[in-house]
Chains A and B, each alone.
Chain A
Amino acid sequence: MEHGHDYQPGHTYNFQILGRVYAGLLVLAALMIGFFLMPIERLPIDWLDLHLIKRLLILADAITMVGIIAGFLMGLKYEKTKLNAVIFLSNFAFLTIFLLFVMADIGMRGAMDPSFTKQLNWKSPVTEENNKMQEAPAP
């Protein structure tokens, strides 16, 4: 029991920093919506996939927000051990692997063997039924 005396759990919250973090998050959220509303894809540049650029901008914004949330609201920045940061980052490592490999499947079906159709192209009976119902009253 004795050697716990000089120990203080966690970090001391600083309201000033918290206020700035909150403001920063709101600005980033506004920026994200700004990217969405900006008609970037109508710029007269055809050698760039502007839709993709727009998505990447939004993604970068989201990742920044996640970094701030994890760092300040979850307190990752103040942790004394690296361990918790390692856990958090390995999450993203595993998920990136998951995404990349799933995309290596769906994005490349038929890449080597053309007889292999790109995707399993099933027609949806749900909307087919709808279409039939819409067409039916005509006769």
Chain B
Amino acid sequence: MASTTLQEHEVAHHFDDLEQEFESQKFGMWLFMASEIMMFGALLVGGLFLLYLHPDAFAESRPHLDWRLGALNTFFLLTGGFTMARAAGFAQQREQGKVRTNLILSLLLACGFLVVKTIEYKAKFHHGLLPGHAFHGEGFTSLHAHIFFGYYFVATGLHALHVLIGMGLMIWCLKVSKRVQFTRDYYTPVEFAGMYWALVDLVWVFLFPLLYLVG
């Protein structure tokens, strides 16, 4: 078995026991996610404000986003959340190999998301649907369509950045899986990467309708 070459996890010196260590880290993770949610939440509030301020711009610009691509990306993200949770489950069962398979699957799905995003961005560039002074879309009657696309790029760009961070966490988990044996008592890295991915999902679940469906 591979486990003979893998180390077991040790509790850090300043914690009394595994319980204190795990519960502290879990709590810290939740607080970190809370701060991320506040950041994205404020961005969404800004979006709603703009939607209220320039409904015409949103109504006119929204059809330029393809909801089918958005739906495909929703599928990628949700499936990634599913495979990450499975990875954590396999980590509890000491199935190092299946953990890796699921991590790699999630990575591929994340790449899929980014590929679709790139295709979308390219189309926007092609049609001149860009922020601010760079905007030269044709056939717009609203004066503020550039704001919609500006917001679109900021919001999806920031979200894509978090997708990248999430992918970084998955790669980190893959590395840890080569070094440390995951057990029922120690599967923290995979669990936390999965939680982070769920956060990426959660943000998208609001962002997708706001940009692709509501305007």
Contacts and interface: CB of A to CB of B under 8 A. Distances in A.
| A contacts B: CB pair < 8 Å | yes
Interface of B: 16-19, 22-23, 26-27, 30-31, 33-34, 37-38, 41-42, 44-45, 48-49, 52-53, 67, 71, 74-75, 78-79, 81-82, 84-86, 88-89, 92, 132-133, 135-136, 140, 143-146, 184-188, 191, 194-195, 197-199, 201-202, 205-206, 208-209, 212-214
Contacts of B17: 1, 3-4, 7
B67 A91 contact: no
B19 A15 contact: no
B205 A62 contact: yes
Counting chain A CB atoms within 10 Å of each CB, the highest count among B31, B33, B146, B213 belongs to B213
Nearest to B83: A22
B189 to A, nearest CB: 12
Contacts, number: 158
Interface residues of A, number: 57
A127 B143 contact: yes
A43 B2 CA distance: 64
A87 to B, nearest CB: 5
Given A10-B22, A18-B85, A75-B195, A98 B41 contact: yes
A50 interface: no
A9 B19 contact: yes
A10 B79 CA distance: 22
Contacts of A83: 27, 30
A12 B27 contact: no
A62 B42 CA distance: 17
A83 B26 CA distance: 11
Given A18-B82, A22-B79, A9 B34 contact: no
Given A70-B198, A92-B41, 20 more contacts: A7-B19, A22-B79, A22-B82, A25-B81, A25-B82, A29-B78, A32-B208, A33-B71, A33-B213, A58-B213, A62-B209, A69-B201, A72-B85, A73-B195, A98-B45, A102-B45, A107-B52, A124-B143, A127-B135, A127-B140
Q: SS class of chain A's interface: helix, strand, loop or mixed?
A: helix
Interface of A: 1, 3-4, 7-10, 12-15, 18, 21-22, 25-26, 29, 32-33, 35-36, 55, 58-59, 61-62, 65-66, 69-70, 72-75, 81, 83-84, 87-88, 90-92, 94-95, 98-99, 102-103, 106-107, 119, 123-124, 126-128, 130
Given A9-B18, A25-B78, A126 B132 contact: yes
Contacts of A84: 26-27, 30
B116 to A, nearest CB: 15
Contact of A106 (B53, B135, B213): B53
B135 A126 contact: yes
Contacts of B41: 91-92, 94-95, 98
A123 B133 CA distance: 14
A3 to B, nearest CB: 7
Contacts of B49: 102-103, 106
A130 to B, nearest CB: 7
Contact of A91 (B22, B34, B88, B194): B34
B133 to A, nearest CB: 6
A81 B34 CA distance: 16
